[in-house]
C-alpha cells in the first residue's frame, strides 16, 4: 500500500471553530485534518476583527493566512477598515505566512449589500494587492463578470477564485489572468452539474482544492430542510473532509487521488508564491 496522499486546503475559516467551540476545539479540528493527510491550510480573514486570529492560528499550526475584508462584511466596513488593512499589511510584510490578500471580492447573491460600497472596497483592496505585490483570494458569488472587469482594470499577481461556480469561458479567462480555481464540497453533489463538469474538464493545472470549512459541506454532511425541521442539527464542514472531497473530484477526472493531491499542491504554490517558499522551507 502506498503512502497516504498529502493535501492542501486552500480555504479554511479555522477561526470560526474558535468562535463556536473555543481554541481547543479549533486545535482538535486541525489535528484531525492533519491525521487524515491535510498537510497545510490557508486561513483567510473576512474582517479586521479577525486579522490577529488567523495570523495566530496559522503560526500555531504551521499554516498560512490571508488578510482582507469579505464582501459580506462590507456593510460595517469603511475607510478606517481599509486603513487598518493597509497598516496590517505593512506591519506583516516580512511574515512568510502571509500569502495573499483575501477573502475579498463581490457578492450579488445577497441583495441587501450596497453595490457601491462593496465595489469600492473590492477595488481598494486590489490596489493594496498591487502595492504589496500579493495575489488575491477572491469571493465571486454571482459576480464573476464584475470580478473579471475589476481584474482587467486593476490587474494583480493572480491568486485563487474561491468556490468557483461560473462558466467554462469565465474559468478560462481567470486562468489566463493567473488564477487557479477552487473546488470543494459543492462538487460532491450529483445535481451540481456545472461545477462537476468544470472539475472534470478544466486543465489539471487550473485546479486547487478547498473546503471553506465550516461552510459548503460535502453531500455526506448535508442536512436537508426537512431534517433540520425535524430537529437534526446541521453538520459543520471541517478541513478533515478534504481528502474525501479530493477522491470525488479525482473520480470525476478519472485519475488517482494521489496524483490530484500532488497537482493541486503544486497549483496552490503557483497561485500563492509565498506558500511555495514556505512549504519548501519546512
* Residue ranges of domains in the chain, CATH in brackets: 8-281 (3.20.20.140)
Q: Write down the pLDDT at residue 225.
A: 83
What pLDDT, on the 0 to 100 scale, is given for residue 185? 98
Residue 228 neighbours by CB under 8 Å, 6+ apart: 234
175 vs 235: CA distance, rounded Å: 33
pLDDT at 229: 84
CA distance 279 to 231: 43
- Candidates 61, 80, 82, 72; CA nearest to 15 is 61
- Grid cell 516580512 in the structure block, residue: 94
Q: What's the pLDDT score for residue 2?
A: 61
Report the 10 Å Cβ neighbour count for 116: 9
Residues contributing to the annotated binding site: 11, 13, 103, 139, 162, 212
Write down the pLDDT at residue 117: 97
Binding-site annotation, residues for a divalent metal cation: 11, 13, 103, 139, 162, 212
Contact 72, 142 (CB under 8 A): no
- The whole-number pLDDT of residue 280 equals 87
Q: Which residues contact 231 (CB under 8 A, 6 or more apart)?
A: none
Distance CA 199, CA 205 (A): 11
Reading the chain (282 residues) residue by residue, the pLDDT tens digits are 467 899 999 999 999 999 989 999 999 999 999 999 999 999 999 999 999 999 999 999 999 999 999 999 999 999 999 999 999 999 999 999 999 999 999 999 999 999 999 999 999 999 999 999 999 999 999 999 999 999 999 999 999 999 999 999 999 999 999 999 999 999 999 999 999 999 999 999 999 999 999 999 999 998 888 888 888 887 899 999 999 999 999 999 999 999 999 999 999 999 999 999 999 876
Amino acid at each position: 500500500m502506498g503512502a497516504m496522499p498529502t493535501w492542501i486546503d486552500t480555504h479554511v475559516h479555522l477561526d470560526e471553530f474558535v468562535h463556536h467551540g473555543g481554541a481547543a476545539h479549533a486545535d482538535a479540528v486541525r489535528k484531525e485534518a492533519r491525521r487524515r493527510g491535510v498537510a497545510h491550510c490557508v486561513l483567510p480573514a473576512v474582517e479586521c476583527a479577525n486579522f490577529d486570529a488567523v495570523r495566530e492560528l496559522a503560526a500555531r499550526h504551521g499554516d498560512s493566512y490571508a488578510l482582507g475584508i469579505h464582501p459580506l462584511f462590507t456593510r460595517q466596513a469603511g475607510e478606517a477598515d481599509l486603513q487598518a488593512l493597509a497598516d496590517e499589511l505593512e506591519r506583516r510584510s516580512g511574515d512568510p505566512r502571509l500569502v495573499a490578500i483575501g477573502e475579498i471580492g463581490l457578492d450579488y447573491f445577497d441583495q441587501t449589500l450596497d453595490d457601491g460600497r462593496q465595489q469600492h472596497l473590492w477595488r481598494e483592496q486590489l490596489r493594496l494587492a498591487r502595492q504589496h505585490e500579493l495575489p488575491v483570494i477572491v469571493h465571486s458569488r454571482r459576480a464573476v463578470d464584475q470580478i473579471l472587469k475589476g481584474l482587467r482594470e486593476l490587474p494583480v499577481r493572480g491568486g485563487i477564485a474561491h468556490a468557483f461556480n461560473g462558466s467554462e469561458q469565465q474559468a478560462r479567462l481567470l486562468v489566463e489572468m493567473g488564477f487557479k480555481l477552487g473546488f470543494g464540497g459543492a462538487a460532491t453533489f450529483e445535481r451540481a452539474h456545472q461545477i462537476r463538469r468544470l472539475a472534470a474538464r478544466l486543465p489539471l493545472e487550473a485546479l486547487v482544492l478547498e473546503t471553506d470549512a465550516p461552510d459548503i459541506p460535502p453531500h455526506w454532511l448535508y442536512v436537508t430542510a426537512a431534517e433540520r425541521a425535524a430537529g437534526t442539527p446541521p453538520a459543520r464542514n471541517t478541513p478533515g473532509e478534504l481528502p474525501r472531497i479530493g477522491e470525488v473530484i479525482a473520480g470525476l477526472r478519472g485519475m488517482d487521488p494521489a496524483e490530484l493531491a500532488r497537482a493541486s499542491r503544486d497549483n496552490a504554490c503557483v497561485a500563492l508564491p509565498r506558500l511555495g517558499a514556505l512549504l519548501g522551507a519546512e
